[in-house]
Structure 1
Amino acid sequence: MRRRLTLAFVVVAAPAVVAPPIVGAQTSPFLPDLLYRQLVNEISGDRAFEQVRHLSHFHRTAGSRDFFAAAEYIRGAAQAAGLEDVKLVRQAWNGQAWSCRSGTAWLLEPEEVKLADYGEVAVSIADRSRTTHAAADLVNVGPGEEPRDYEGRDVKGRIVLASGALASVMREAVWKRGALGILSSLTNRPEALDAPDQVAWAQIPAEAKEVPNVKDGTQGTFAVMLSPRRARWLEKQLAAAGRPLKVKVDIEADFAEKPEQAYVEAWIRGTEVHDQQIVLTAHIQEEMTSANDDGSGCASMLEIGRALARLIKDGTLAPPRRDIRFWWVNEIASEEQLFRENPKEPRQMLLAINQDMVAARQSWGGRVQYASRLPWSSSGWCGTATRRS
């Protein structure tokens, strides 16, 4: 991770400071060897990892209490890093700011077994699930996405066990047939057994829209997420019993009356040029255990900012000519809202570098990082830097 942070650091520092002289035998084509080594010696992958560890305490669904707690943590960390003009900016948002306080699901018979607990695995409660306190029969409906999955099965007033997409199961089981809610074994993997103990992060639709014979605006209820292995065990219990089994679901959750989002902003002010900002971005919102997406980007930016500020303060690195601007955001929506409110803002920006999922081991899962250049009609230093990197 130290090398990746250094490469990102070089891309930020090169245009922001000065064009280096051409020298031989450089480790980087952009910086003299001495400066490159000074950067390597200052940047700490351990510090970045520690930031990721702190962020993993928060289930950072967009606009939630934990999202704002994570944003406040980043604000404090940016200040501690020595960055300038640090602030947390609340923004209007047309999304659904949902927060969960607690949630459990239990199998009550033939013996009591805990199936899921939000306090243990936050993604166990699907986003947008509503407060629920229910004990009811559990019925296995297979995928639960099509009418044929319900042939010969009465699900009204019951909870369904399903593996299909939550929006489809909510439509067919809850809104059209009166089920109370869902125990879901939905997986984000191509094959469920690729990760049999992984609990998927998912969300239910907040309300019905254009569902036949269902009033638009009818609220969604809940979904409790199970790993494929746990769901398979539950299917076997149902098959052995030959009848529905009782389960109990308790969820405490709420939606903010006035949804908001936020971004954290910080600066390293340039000495000369103030209308060609170098902007670094990373997004705050994700589920609690999402260290790579995008805890890694948030941490990378904090460490880049800290190292730059430290080297500038002690005189190792000259202050940048251009402003360097740091944004930790609600992905995409924060920038869109900022530009709607300040349409001239993009004209002050020369380059944006988005730090998203920068800690993945490239050899796992066929991951590839791409560097895209500008079209030849928009040639400039950025395209040259991309081709040489």
Structure 2
Amino acid sequence: MRLPVLLCFGLLSLAPLTCLASPADALALPEQDVAAIAREVNGEMAMQTLEGIVQQHRERGSRGFHTSAEWVASRARSFGLTDVEILQFPADGTIFYGTQRSRRAWDADAGELVEVSDGKQAPIASYAAVPMVLAEDSESADVTALLVDVGAGNTEADYAGKDVKGKLVLVSASPGEVQDLAIGKFGAVGILSYQQNQPNGWSGDNIEQIRWGHLDSFSAHPTFAFMLSMKQANALKARLSAGEAIRLHASVKAGQHASPYEVVTATIPGADPRLKEQEIAFTCHLDHPKPGANDNASGCSTILEVGRTLQTLIAQRALARPARTIRFIWGPEVEGTVVLLNARKDFARRIRAVVHMDMVGGGPRTQAVFHVTRGPASLPSFIHDVAWGFAQWVNVQSYDFAATGKAQFPMLAPSGGKEPLRAEDSPFALGSDHEVYQDSSYAIPAIYLNDWPDRYIHTTLDTAANIDPTKLGRVAFIGAATGVALANDPRIGTPAATPAPMRAPGPAASGDGKRVFRRNPEPRGPLSVFGYDWFDDHAKRLALPRPKLLDFEGPHGGGGDYAYEVLNFADGTRDAQQITNDVSAEFGPVPLALVIEYLQALERVGVVEQIR
């Protein structure tokens, strides 16, 4: 249940506070602390960090990731943060960290795609110029072959009547969805993909942007793939349809190799001897192909600005050192978090709440909407209301300035915009590291600050030019104020109430509906992580049919949402009918039979046990 939050403004004024809600609870920090943080946050400083990060092609375990990690660590040290280190965890493709099968690092040195039809030398794609043209996990190759258009390329029907053996295939699907069919079954030698961006209102508007592509890290059929723009693909498709033979030469020097996951971490130590071993964590993901400005150099630069702001104010004695330790974590998305919490169980024990930032700086051209996203119904917490209270305050301050030119704390960056923030209070959604912390393995409540939609996500147009420094500063304020408030809050770490009021009415439980399931202690982590799906892998080994819940679409969530929460609710106290009611209240009605089928599949793969 959402707690009422009072929104007050008029800080440092002799006039009474103006309040926008009741009951009479003010923001979760003293006025002088709110004012000090609002004055100190600096979107330009965050932008400087971002501009350093986006210079690197920072795939997991790569040279570019290491360079970015060193850049962030050096900035953290220069800002006075303590315990700054780059943790390393072995990754060789066989080691497991909970539900995460470690993925070997991937680096690329070169990648060139050239048309050589009729003796011509017409360049099509160059990794040196645009690193995103080479799909992640591509392997070295040097081939010359004809090109064949196979449509989407992810079903056998796409290859009917087409001879692709020894040829390159042009596909609209993700390279990872194609490789086992195209390479493994039908004998193609490489892939050209024009996979488009996530569907949104601006899909198809820019036919020259190129999307980030992935191959399957664990496929038995390693290959290479180049990513093309829709404009390039349309031209090639038209020529092929006209019967023209197109011969291409692809040269790639790249591949996976054993290299550790790296996670940068730093702290602001707590002041209370009884509480300083407890931590409030700020998290982001540092990995992404170049440039990856909003996703997610923006989150990583902003949590560092939170650290700089708080450390500066503490050193100036303008802000008291918080009771609990505040920790900052920069690692690979999702997989790095699963690795960290499994390899360093002390982190999982100490972290009591998380402020996660993934895409927080999108300017007007991105069409981004900024969200303060709540946690799942399975893990209710007051911390989201704390963050939302500060976001509402920024909404008022920024709107007042945009509308009247006057506001006490507009938090403007000289090179940034003047638009109001217009933050949204949003329900739980999957999609980043916050889902790891809030998984029932850890049950750490997390606030998720994020932009969605973003018309340039995962494309070559996600550049620093589309980031708004004013927004970075405002989000840094929301994060910093929330972090300090939580670091001093006596409620942190207390057990959450059972969210019984969330339950939707359901039919009387049948015998099957009375079954009670409890999650096992291991493996720890979400079952579908980045680049590896623990459930799918283990279900295939047992030849289990795919549970229908995974493909179910409800009014407010898809199969992944339902599956995540069904497992979270399997706590040994709820029966299957109660779990069905709970997830139905959260995402929309779902049949009991689908929930039971999924729970039974989880039991078969050893994730849950049935209490008999």
- 2:45 aligned to which of 31, 44, 47: 47
Long gaps (5+) in structure 2: 1-14, 20-25, 92-101, 391-612
2:103 is paired with a residue whose SS is coil
Going from structure 1 to structure 2, the CA distance change for 1:350 and 1:76 (only over 3 Å counts) comes to: same
- The answer to whether residue 191 in structure 2 is matched with residue 190 in structure 1 is no
Distance 1:89 1:113, change over 3 A: same
Paired residue for 2:148? 139
- Of the three residues 189, 209, 213, the one matched with 1:202 is 213
The secondary structure found in structure 1 opposite 2:151 is: coil
Kindly tell me: are residues 105 and 373 of structure 1, through their superposed partners in 2, closer, same or farther at Cα, counting changes over 3 Å? closer
After superposition, the Cα gap between the structure-2 partners of 1:342 and 1:226, relative to the gap in structure 1 and judged at 3 Å, is closer
1:84 to 82, 85, 90: 82
- The corresponding residue for 2:323 is 321
For residue 263 of structure 1, what is the aligned residue in structure 2? 263
**1:249 equivalent in alignment to 2:250:** yes
State the alpha-carbon separation in 2 of the partners of residues 163 and 262 from structure 1. Answer: 33
Match in the other structure for 2:64:
66
8 A Cα contact 1:26 1:32, kept in partner:
no
More displaced, 187-196 or 82-91? 187-196
Partner of 1:25: 17
What is the deviation of 1:177?
1.7
Please tell me whether the aligned partners of residues 144 and 248 of structure 2 are also in contact (alpha carbons under 8 angstroms).
yes
Partner residue of 2:166? 157
Q: After superposition, give the CA deviation of every residue in 1:69-101 in whole Å (9 maximum; x if it has no partner).
A: 211111111111111121111112311311111
Displacement of 1:164 in angstroms is 2.3
Aligned equivalents of 1:350, 1:357: Cα separation in 2: 23
The structure 2 residue matched to 1:298, chosen from 294, 297, 300, is 300
Deviation string for 1:284-309 (max 9, x for gaps)?
11121211111111100111111211
Query: Pairwise mapping of residues 301-312 of structure 1 onto structure 2 (< 5 A)?
Result: 301-312=303-314
Normalising by structure 1, we get a TM-score of: 0.83
Give the 3 Å change call, closer, same or farther, for CA 148–62 of structure 1 in structure 2.
Answer: same
SS of 1:99 mapped into structure 2: strand
Q: How far has the Cα of 1:173 moved from its partner?
A: 2.2
SS at match of 1:355: strand
Question: Secondary structure, in 3 states, of the residue corresponding to 1:305?
Answer: helix
TM-score of the aligned structures, taking structure 2 as reference length: 0.54
Give the SS at the match of 2:358: coil
Q: More deviation in 353-362 or 195-204? A: 353-362
Q: Do structure 1's residue 75 and structure 2's residue 73 form an aligned pair?
A: yes
- Runs of 4+ residues deviating >6 angstroms: 373-379
**What is the CA–CA distance in structure 2 between the aligned matches of 1:299 and 1:279, rounded to whole Å?**
15
- TM-superposed CA distance for 1:207, in Å, is 4.8
* Alpha carbons of structure 1 residues 145 and 278: separation in structure 2 relative to 1, 3 Å: closer
Query: C-alpha separation between the residues in 2 aligned to 1:377 and 1:68?
Result: 34
Q: Which AA in structure 1 matches 2:147? A: L
Unaligned runs of 5+ in 1: 1-22, 209-216
Contact 1:104 1:117 (C-alpha < 8 Å) held by counterparts: yes
SS of the residue aligned with 1:186?
A: coil
Report the CA distance shift for 1:358/1:133 in structure 2 as closer, same or farther (over 3 A): same
The alpha-carbon deviation at position 253 of structure 1 amounts to 0.5
Could you tell me how far apart the structure 2 residues matched to 1:384 and 1:139 are?
A: 54
**1:333 maps to which residue?**
335
In 2, distance between residues paired with 1:363 and 1:275? 43
User: In structure 2, the residue corresponding to 1:275 is in which secondary structure?
Assistant: coil
Alignment match, 1:169: 178
Aligned in 2, Cα 1:271/1:34: closer, same or farther, shift over 3 Å? closer
One-letter code aligned to 2:260: E
Residue 116 and residue 363 in structure 1: after superposition, are their counterparts in 2 closer, same or farther (change >3 A)?
A: closer
User: How far off its partner does 1:383 sit?
Assistant: 6.0
- State yes or no: 1:181 paired with 2:190: yes
SS at structure 1 position matched to 2:325:
strand
Instruction: Give the Å deviation of 1:206.
Output: 3.8
Any idea what SS the aligned residue of 1:148 has?
A: helix
**Match of 2:249, as an amino acid?**
K
Aligned length: 355
Q: Report the secondary structure of 1:101's partner residue.
A: strand
| Separation in structure 2 between the aligned mates of residue 338 and residue 222 of structure 1, nearest angstrom | 30
Residue 181 of structure 1 and its aligned partner are, at CA, apart by: 0.5
Give the residue type in structure 2 aligned to 1:246: R
Task: Confirm whether residue 287 of structure 1 aligns to residue 289 of structure 2.
Answer: yes
Q: Which amino acid aligns with 2:153?
A: G
- CA gap of 1:388–1:24, structure 2 versus 1, over 3 A, is farther
SS of the residue corresponding to residue 36 of structure 1 reads: helix
| Deviation sequence 1:135-172 (CA, Å, 0-9, x none) | 11122222223333333322211112222232343223
CA distance in 2, matches of 1:167, 1:378: 36
Q: 1:151 to 1:369 in 2, by over 3 A?
A: same
8 Å CA contact retained: 1:105, 1:117: yes
Identity %: 29
Deviates further, 124-133 or 309-318: 309-318
Judge which range, 103-112 or 186-195, deviates more. 186-195
After superposition, the Cα gap between the structure-2 partners of 1:318 and 1:56, relative to the gap in structure 1 and judged at 3 Å, is same
- C-alpha distance 363-337 of structure 1, shift in aligned 2 (>3 A): same
- Distance change >3 Å, CA 375–CA 387, structure 1 → 2: farther
Contact 1:91/1:334 (<8 A) preserved? no
Aligned pair in 2 of structure 1 residues 85, 143: CA closer, same or farther (>3 Å)? Answer: same
CA distance in 1, matches of 2:379, 2:131: 48
Letter paired with 1:253: A
Equivalent residue, structure 2, for 1:16: none
SS at match of 1:252: strand
Range moving further from structure 2, 355-364 or 291-300: 355-364
Match of 2:103 among 87, 95, 107: 95
Task: Please state how far the C-alpha of 1:344 moved relative to its aligned partner.
Answer: 4.4
